[in-house]
Structure formats: structure tokens, C-alpha cells
């Protein structure tokens, strides 16, 4: 945990000093996790309070540590499992049982084994227990209200597990991930630059435009709906004609989306072949793959024939939705003309931009590889591309959720578990990406302010 500040009582914020003092008196030292959480006093207080409350439950000391260890095993936190193992040794649990607990094997004590399985089910399925699991817990000799006592331990240790994932394991990799994301922005700027009708702007200025769009997207949580028009407006302000400015932005975003859709189709196909998706999702998956095929056909049609389809569709819709469609067709026609001319008349440049966009998507997949390896998980080289491809369509389907709050976390949990990784790794991935995006946006604001 060397990448986050490790506070002492003297250096900690005033609101954290009392809690750190209590931890010091209890353990005779301050664990690194508490020293790092001290930077945010409410987080430290929550962790310490939950730990104290767990000791006040009716669960025995061994049962409390079984809950802690089972939670840590399910969340993939080796450091926390080791700490719980030391507590269990002190409480008198035999060494072979501790080893079984660490490796997810059954315990010889039937009641403790029921508690281990029950806790793991809570963590793995986020509290969605079956009636039979609940009944087995009661049949083992636990009382109904002790379910909530188990939840106290799960909540305390989940906070600890996730903090350790982020601060301990990912901390050293976070700068790499942030650098990869910054490089991805530069790659997309290169794609935008190469989509311009001529080299009328230096790359440095196009990079500023791309960075401005990223800042707008992060600060407003509006996705591409504000960021892409803003980039067109900025290009226009820099001297590109209106149709060419917005047409160039449309070219870059279309090709970015085309490559993303191809990744999605391949990723979903692999997940279907691996039989890891629920049966109920398969009609939706096949529908998405069909949509990708239709998008690809439309893209190739425009590239080969030089005929756009968006404006004719809008004009055809005028009879159904009225003048708004006609007005939209009239406004979009000069933009589509630029877009189609690029696809049809500049095949070499089209291939170049497609390859640039593919490189950008590969950088995002590399982020996933870096984080999972930092967490200690070994995954196949293709898995980061599968996750990245599948997560794109899930997030796109929930574009209307502000900031994608909850969507990203749920998507990564689902996909990480689909390839055999713990849910905690998925949550960590989502948090790392949120933080690195905010960091890059903040740096972008500073750069734009310092270099107007």
C-alpha cells in the first residue's frame, strides 16, 4: 500500500485522530488499511464502527472470523484472508480447518461449514439467497436474527476488501491505467485529425478539442450527446466550415462505434459459445449481433456506393413523425455528404482511421489486463477484449442513467464472474475507471486553463 498516504495520528485529519487512537490502543499498532482510510474520516469511522459492532453480536469469536474469512475469500482479498487466519489461530481453530477455509474446502464442523457457505452465498449473489439456503442456516442452529449479524461482518469486511484491492494492489498499477487512458484520448484525437478533410489544423489543436470533449463528458455525465457536438463547434471555431467540422466529428464517432460494435459482436459470440450467459439473455444477444451486422452492411453500402442512408430514412419518416424529421434531414444533409464522401472517396484514409480506432479500443482492453493482473488474477489474453467488448453494449443500453452510476459496477461484476473472477474484481475495475477518468478530466481542465 505504498501509493496512498499512510497517516499517523499526527498527520491524520483532525476528525480521524480519535478513531486512529482507539485502533492504536486496541491493536498496539495502526494497520496500513486504517492509516490510509484516515484520509477520509467517515470511511475510517465506518470501518472501525462496523468492526466494533461485529464483536457485540451474538456470534462467537470463531464464527465472527469465519464470516470475515469467507467474505474475504469470495472477494479475492488474500491479505484479508491471511489476517483472518491469524485471528482464527488465536481463537483455537485447527490449522487444517484454517487451510480448508482459505482454499474454499468444506470445514469438518457442520455448523461452521454452514456459516461459511451461507456467508459466501451472500457475497457471491449480493444477498439474493434461496429459501433452502436460508433454511439450512436455521437448521444448523442459528437464529433468524443472526442473518443480520452476519451482514454486519460482510459489510465491514467488504469495505476492507475493496479498500485493499484499490489501495494495496491497484495502487501501483493505477498510474499505468491512467496513462493508458490518456494515450487512448490521444489516439482518438489522432483519428479525428486524420478524418479532417485536409491538414488544416495542427494535431496539438485537435488534441485540445478531443480533451475538451472528454472534460465535458465527465463533468456533465451526458455521454456523447454534449461532447461530440462540442467538438464540432470547437473545430468550427478553429476555422473549419460547419459541415466539415461536424462531418469530421461524425466520421470519427461512426468509425469508433463501428469498431466497438465489432468487438461487442465477437465478445458476445464467445460468451455464448462458452455457455456462461443466462438462457434468458440469448435472444437479446442474438438481436444485438444482428444489429451489428445491419450497421456493418449500412456502413459498407455507403463506402461502396457513396450513398448515405440517414437522410433518406429521415425524409421517409416525415410522413410518420411530421416536420421534425424533414427539418432534421435538412440540417443533417451537409454533414452526411461529408461523411459519405470520406467513406467512399478516401478508402486508404478510412482504413487508417479504422486501425487507429482499433488501437484505442485495444488500449482500453489493456487496462483490464493491468488491473486484473495487479489483483493477482491470471486471465487469458483474449479475456480483456471479451470484457471490453461486452461492457460497451451493456453501458450503451443504459445510456440514460446519469454517470452510469450502478450500471458500470453491475456490468463489470456480471462479466468478471462470467469468466470466473470474483465480483470484487469487477467492482474494483469499475471504480478504477471512474477515478482515472475523473483524474484525466481534472488534468485536462488544468491543461486547457494553462494553455488557452
Could you report the per-residue pLDDT of 122-150, keeping only the tens digit for each? 888 878 888 998 899 999 999 999 999 99
Inter-CA distances, 231 with 43, 90, 165, 253, 335, Å: 39, 62, 36, 11, 14
**CATH dotted code for 57-169:** 1.20.1290.10
**What predicted TM-score, i.e. pTM, was given to this entire model?**
0.67
Q: How confident is the model at residue 257 (pLDDT cuts 50, 70, 90)?
A: very high
**Distances, alpha carbon 386 to alpha carbons 54, 380, 407, 425, in Å:** 40, 10, 18, 16
Give the separation between CA 290 and CA 283, rounded to whole angstroms: 10
Chain centroid to Cα 142, Å, comes to 37
Q: Shortest CA distance to 46 belongs to which of 123, 158, 147?
A: 158
Give residues with Cβ within 8 angstroms of 433, minimum separation 6.
177, 181, 367, 408
Contacts of 36-43 with CB under 8 Å at 24 or more apart are 36/1, 36/4, 36/5, 36/6, 36/7, 36/163, 36/167, 37/163, 38/7, 38/12, 38/13, 39/4, 39/5, 39/7, 39/12, 39/13, 41/13, 41/15, 41/16, 43/159, 43/163
| Rounded-to-integer distance, Cα 92 and Cα 100, Å | 15
Q: Distance of alpha carbon 16 from its chain centroid, rounded?
A: 30
Q: Where are the domains of the chain?
A: 57-169, 172-450
Q: What is the mean pLDDT of the chain?
A: 86
Q: Which residue has the cell 498527520?
A: 11
* pLDDT tens, position by position, 81-96: 777 787 888 778 888 8
pLDDT tens digits, residue range 376-403? 677 888 999 999 999 998 888 776 666 6
> Which tops the pLDDT comparison, 78 or 297?
297
Model confidence at 1, pLDDT cuts 50, 70, 90, reads: very low
Percent of the chain whose predicted confidence (pLDDT) is above 70: 92
Say if CB 436 and CB 178 are below 8 A apart: yes
**Helix extents (H) in 274-382:** 282-305, 310-321, 323-345, 347-374
Where residue 2 falls among pLDDT bands split at 50, 70, 90? very low
Q: Measured in whole angstroms, how far is the alpha carbon of residue 170 from the centre of its chain?
A: 14
Find, among 183, 179, 213, 207, the residue nearest to 194 by Cα.
207
- Mean pLDDT along residues 171-199: 88
How far are the Cα atoms of 3, 254, 408 from residue 190, in angstroms, in the given order? 32, 15, 27
- Phi and psi at residue 196, in whole multiples of 5°? -65, 150
pLDDT of residue 405: 64
Alpha carbon separation from 222 to 217, 292, 360, 400, 429 (Å, rounded): 6, 24, 21, 8, 21
Question: The C-alpha cell of 97 is what?
Answer: 480447518
Predicted confidence band of residue 260 (pLDDT cuts 50, 70, 90)? very high
Query: Euclidean distance between the first and final Cα of the chain, in Å?
Result: 38
User: What are the helix and strand counts (H, E) for the chain?
Assistant: 20, 0
Which pLDDT tens digit goes with each residue over 212-240? 988 888 777 777 888 899 999 999 998 89
Question: What digits encode the pLDDT tens for the residues 51-78?
Answer: 888 889 999 989 999 999 899 888 877 7
Q: What is the pLDDT of residue 326?
A: 79
pLDDT at 313 over 70: yes
Residue 4 has a pLDDT of: 64
Burial category of 208 from C-beta neighbours within 10 Å (exposed 0-12, middle 13-18, buried 19 and up): buried
User: 131-140, 168-177, 179-188, 275-284: which has the minimum mean pLDDT?
Assistant: 168-177
Q: Break the chain down into helix, strand, coil percent, rounded to 5.
A: 80, 0, 20
The predicted pLDDT at position 199 comes to 67
> Is the pLDDT reported for residue 153 higher than 60?
yes
Amino acid at each position: 500500500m505504498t501509493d496512498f498516504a499512510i497517516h499517523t495520528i499526527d498527520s491524520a485529519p483532525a476528525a480521524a485522530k480519535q478513531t486512529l487512537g482507539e485502533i492504536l490502543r486496541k491493536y498496539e499498532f495502526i494497520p496500513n488499511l486504517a492509516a490510509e482510510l484516515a484520509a477520509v474520516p467517515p470511511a475510517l469511522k465506518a470501518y472501525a464502527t462496523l468492526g466494533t459492532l461485529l464483536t457485540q453480536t451474538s456470534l462467537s469469536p470463531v464464527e465472527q472470523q469465519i464470516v470475515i474469512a469467507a467474505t474475504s475469500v469470495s472477494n479475492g482479498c488474500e491479505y484479508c484472508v491471511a489476517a483472518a487466519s491469524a485471528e482464527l489461530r488465536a481463537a483455537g481453530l485447527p490449522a487444517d480447518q484454517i487451510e480448508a477455509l482459505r482454499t474454499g474446502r468444506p470445514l469438518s464442523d457442520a455448523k461452521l461449514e454452514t456459516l461459511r457457505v451461507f456467508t459466501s452465498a451472500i457475497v457471491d449473489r449480493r444477498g439474493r439467497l434461496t429459501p433452502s439456503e436460508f433454511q439450512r442456516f436455521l437448521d444448523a442452529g442459528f437464529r433468524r436474527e443472526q442473518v443480520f449479524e452476519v451482514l454486519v461482518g460482510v459489510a465491514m469486511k467488504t469495505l476492507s476488501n475493496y479498500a485493499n484491492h484499490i489501495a494495496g494492489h491497484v495502487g501501483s498499477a493505477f498510474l499505468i491505467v491512467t496513462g493508458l487512458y490518456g494515450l487512448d484520448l490521444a489516439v482518438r484525437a489522432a483519428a479525428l485529425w486524420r478524418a479532417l478533410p485536409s491538414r488544416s489544423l495542427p494535431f496539438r489543436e485537435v488534441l485540445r478539442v478531443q480533451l475538451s470533449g472528454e472534460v465535458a463528458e465527465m463533468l456533465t455525465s451526458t455521454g456523447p450527446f454534449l461532447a461530440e457536438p462540442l467538438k464540432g463547434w470547437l473545430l468550427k471555431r478553429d476555422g473549419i466550415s460547419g459541415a466539415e467540422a461536424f462531418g469530421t466529428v461524425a466520421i470519427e464517432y461512426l468509425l469508433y462505434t463501428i469498431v466497438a460494435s465489432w468487438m461487442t459482436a465477437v465478445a458476445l459470440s464467445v460468451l455464448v459459445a462458452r455457455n456462461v450467459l443466462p438462457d434468458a439473455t440469448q435472444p437479446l444477444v442474438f438481436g444485438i449481433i444482428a444489429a451489428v451486422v445491419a450497421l456493418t452492411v449500412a456502413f459498407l453500402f455507403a463506402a461502396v456506393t457513396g450513398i448515405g442512408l440517414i437522410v433518406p430514412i429521415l425524409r421517409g419518416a416525415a410522413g410518420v413523425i411530421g416536420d421534425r424529421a424533414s427539418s432534421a434531414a435538412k440540417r443533417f444533409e451537409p454533414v452526411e455528404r461529408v461523411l459519405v464522401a470520406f467513406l467512399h472517396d478516401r478508402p486508404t484514409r478510412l482504413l487508417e482511421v479504422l486501425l487507429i480506432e482499433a488501437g484505442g479500443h485495444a488500449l482500453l482492453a489493456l487496462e483490464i489486463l493491468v488491473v486484473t493482473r495487479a489483483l493477482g488474477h491470471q486471465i487469458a489474453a483474449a479475456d480483456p477484449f471479451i470484457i471490453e467488448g461486452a461492457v460497451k453494449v451493456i453501458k450503451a443500453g443504459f445510456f440514460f442513467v446519469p454517470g452510469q452510476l450502478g450500471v458500470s459496477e453491475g456490468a463489470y461484476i456480471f462479466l468478471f464472474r462470467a469468466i470466473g473472477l470474483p465480483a470484487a474484481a469487477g467492482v474494483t475495475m469499475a471504480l478504477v475507471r471512474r477515478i482515472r477518468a475523473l483524474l484525466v478530466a481534472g488534468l485536462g481542465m488544468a491543461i486547457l486553463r494553462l494553455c488557452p
